[in-house]
């Protein structure tokens, strides 16, 4: 290789910079981080390689592979779908375009669930609209005696959830069922959880490019965003065991309405719990007994 060639041959760091600029130009909001993760995935290198050996020349295969991933991200495909995985709670979950990508604010729902579930009990947990399984499986991972059922009306999402349960060694305690909310479920549970679709019709009309790639089924909450809560709260009283609890994630500005839906079916919601941004994010409480 001549000096001229080696001076211009892409290195890991120059590849990273190139991808970063491309993502910036495409309007991606975290271009530095995304570029690094795409470089790691495409070139098959670890963060440490980039830091300790930044001038390592990239091979043609690496350049092509990184380029292909960068093109997808520049077309605003969500990073988690490109990588096929998303970190949530203390775990990593497989995700696909059939599942919503777990959000950091949803970890608050897991926290609440753990507050509501005494560690020493053989609790039964139900997750309505389980998606990739992030909520239910995170809770089960923290409560070794608990068992759970996850319901979804997407068969493709249930496949992802089952794969996640297997990867986390939780298959024996997690059962996944196809269904429309709680239809056909006659068991009772100590805790009912849900992060249902809650995006309202006006918000659905202006979804950003990444959100448009996520399943509409997991986002669309009907005209006012509250359709799923109506269905869920109609069912919750018959799903709760004596002394059982419920906790649901809500969208910005929905907590008051969801508290009223809970009260209307005889539940006793606590003051909604705010997320780190101060937005009331989880409506929860116990059944009257």
Binding site for ligand GLN (CB under 6 A): 103, 195-199, 219
Residue nearer to ligand GLN on the CB measure, 10 or 215: 215
Q: CA-CA distance, 15 to 169, in Å (whole number)?
A: 37
Helix (H) or strand (E) holding 245: strand 240-249
Least Å distance between CB 171 and ligand GLN?
Answer: 25
**Interhelix angle 60-74/12-25, nearest 10 degrees:** 20
CA quadruple 20, 21, 23, 27: dihedral positive or negative?
positive
Task: Compute the least distance from the CB of residue 190 to ligand GLN, in Å.
Answer: 23
Q: Which is nearer to ligand GLN, 70 or 135 (CB)?
A: 135
Beta carbon of residue 41, minimum distance to ligand GLN (angstroms, whole number): 24
Smallest gap, in angstroms, from Cβ of residue 224 to ligand GLN?
Answer: 13
Residue 45 or 199: which CB sits closer to ligand GLN? 199
Diameter over CA atoms, the chain: 81
Question: Between residues 49 and 227, which has the closer beta carbon with respect to ligand GLN?
Answer: 227
Which of 127/190 has CB closer to ligand GLN?
127
Closest distance to ligand GLN from the beta carbon of 265 (Å)? 21
Beta-bridge partners for 178: 152
> Quick one: which of 265, 267, 264 has its CA closest to 247?
267
The distance of closest approach from Cβ of residue 44 to ligand GLN in the complex, given in angstroms and rounded to an integer, is: 32
Contact present, 74 and 22 (Cβ < 8 Å): yes
Distance from C-alpha of 34 to C-alpha of 32, rounded to nearest angstrom: 6
Q: Which is nearer to ligand GLN, 167 or 279 (CB)?
A: 279
**CA within 13 Å, CB half, 260:** 4
Using CB atoms, what's the residue nearest to ligand GLN? 198
């Amino acid at each position: 290789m001549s000096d001229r060639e080696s001076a211009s041959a892409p290195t890991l760091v120059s590849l990273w910079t190139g991808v970063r600029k491309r993502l910036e130009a495409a309007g991606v909001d975290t271009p530095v981080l995304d570029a690094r993760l795409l470089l790691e995935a495409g070139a098959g290198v670890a963060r440490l390689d980039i830091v300790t050996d930044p001038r390592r020349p990239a091979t043609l295969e690496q350049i092509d592979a990184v380029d292909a991933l960068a093109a997808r991200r520049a077309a605003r495909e969500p990073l988690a779908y490109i990588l096929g995985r998303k970190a949530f709670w203390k775990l990593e979950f497989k995700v696909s375009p059939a599942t919503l990508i777990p959000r950091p604010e949803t970890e608050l729902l897991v926290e609440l669930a753990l507050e509501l579930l005494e560690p020493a009990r053989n609790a039964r947990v139900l997750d309505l609209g389980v998606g990739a399984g992030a909520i239910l499986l995170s809770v089960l991972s923290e409560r070794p005696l608990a068992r759970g059922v996850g319901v979804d009306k997407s068969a493709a999402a249930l496949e992802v959830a089952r794969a996640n349960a297997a990867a986390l060694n939780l298959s024996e305690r997690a059962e996944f069922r196809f269904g429309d909310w709680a239809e056909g479920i006659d068991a009772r549970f100590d805790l009912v959880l849900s992060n249902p679709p809650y995006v309202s019709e006006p918000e659905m009309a202006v979804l950003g490019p990444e959100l448009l790639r996520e399943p509409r089924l997991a986002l669309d909450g009907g005209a006012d965003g509250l359709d799923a809560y109506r269905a869920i709260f109609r069912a919750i009283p018959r799903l709760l065991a004596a002394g059982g609890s419920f906790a649901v994630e809500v969208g910005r500005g929905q907590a008051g309405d969801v508290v009223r839906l809970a009260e209307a079916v005889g539940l006793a919601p606590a003051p909604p719990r705010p997320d780190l941004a101060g937005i009331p994010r989880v409506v929860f409480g116990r059944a009257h007994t």
